[in-house]
Amino acid sequence: MKKIFPLCMALLGAVSCCKKTQPGEPALYSAADFDSTIDGKAVSLYTLKNANGMAAQITNYGGIIVDVWVPAKDGAFKDVVLGYPKLADYFVPENTFAGAITGRYANRIANGKFTLDGKEYSLAINNGPNTLHGGIVGFSKKVWDARTFTNDAGEQALELIYVSPDGEENFPGTLTTKVVYTVTVDNQLRIDYTATTDAPTVLNLTNHAYFNLHGGDHKTSVNSHRVTINADRYTPTDSTLIPTGEIASLDGSALDFRTPTTIGERVLGPDSAFNYRDGYDHNYVIRRSSPDVVEAAEVYEPSTGIVMTVLTDTPGIQFFTGKSRVQQDETAPFYRSAFALEAQNYPDAPNHPDFPSAVLRPAKLIAKRPFTVFRRGSCSMIILRREPAKRRFPPRFYGFRSPCLSETAFGRNESLFGENGWSEY
């Protein structure tokens, strides 16, 4: 059985140490600081670039996105992923998922249990009473087989493969997963997931990169980032972040990002029935009328002019603002210094028959295409000074097309857009 998950989106990383913004080429991390052997398998750091100067560094340990360099409006390159300069930094418990592929099941499974074809499976509990991101030793802690290649479009790519044996973390079936990272000619970081299984299993793959569009040393809060999410519903949760089963409207709530809103506007505002002062950690139901790739979210930082657009064909996207990283002292370094947008199935879907199915069976083909797109005002036909502050996702709107973005990324005719490439307001 095969499952393909493509994603186009902007990436974030873990807290990036002391790397400075460079006016010229990106200041990449040293590959030597990632060279290692774990469980008899070689670990390395791989660099992907395009002609625009965009660069991404990825290690085959957990498929971690270590950094992503994109040009800001002043021409300087900014590292927008919160990543670490050495492999050993990722062994610290609080950095376990930073930038990594998470699986077999990303997000949570209630009480570490699910039933498949009449058989109950019990998983390791590693997050309160629940299973998080695949268990104790999920995909984020595995060394993946790796090879670099250049695709037919002349784009640099990294292919990662991991074979998860039957019973690993007590999930059924031998699962072979392939993840391909590509830096495209138009400043996309594309992630394609493919998986095959020899027995029915459950699967939910995503990447847990943390982003900060200020770049630089990443000590600056992301509260000024303007976020737009293409969703009018979400999945409410209980106190342990397990969905209640309800699909609720966002109307009138502090979670509604259909119009561009800064991250800090509500978490720093007065308390209300929706008290998210500790940050966001919610699954949004992406609005769509077909299974095609659509724009799920956009994040814009006015000071750098960097825009990050997330496109995917997954049913949901988790918006996370580093709640676990919030410190008591709001002036402390790294206070609210990151956000994540994780394209995914719904949390705990195996235990909710009304949610999109997470079951993967032999000989089945499913596609997941997530993409991360970075752009700035110098792009043809895009005027960064025209801040999209009034934009709202109307009922038939699934994203806007930038001339920097390949139309084929959407897999559809782009007739929804105005003559200048922007959506109608």
- The residues annotated with a catalytic role in the active site are 208, 342
Token code pair at residue 277: 């002062």
User: Quick check: bond before 108 cis, omega within 30?
Assistant: no
The number of angstroms, rounded, from the C-alpha of 249 to the middle of its chain's C-alpha atoms is 23
Q: In what helix (H) or strand (E) does residue 266 lie, and over which residues does it extend?
A: helix 263-267
Angle at 239 between CA 310 and CA 261, to 5 degrees: 35
381 alpha-carbon distance from chain centroid: 27
d(CA 278, CA 271): 11
Among residues 348, 350, 349, 323, which one has the least CA distance to residue 337? 323
322 contacts: CB under 8 Å, gap ≥ 6? 210, 279, 336, 337, 338, 339, 340
What's the CA gap between 55 and 317, in Å, rounded? 25
Cβ atoms of 330 and 321 closer than 8 Å: no
Q: Which two tokens stand for residue 203?
A: 């699967």
Q: What are phi and psi of 61, to 5 degrees?
A: -80, 105
Close Cβ partners of 160 (under 8 Å, ≥ 6 residues apart):
60, 63, 101, 144, 145, 146, 178, 179, 180, 181
230: closest CA among 291, 322, 301, 294?
294
Distance between CA 98 and CA 84 in Å, rounded? 9
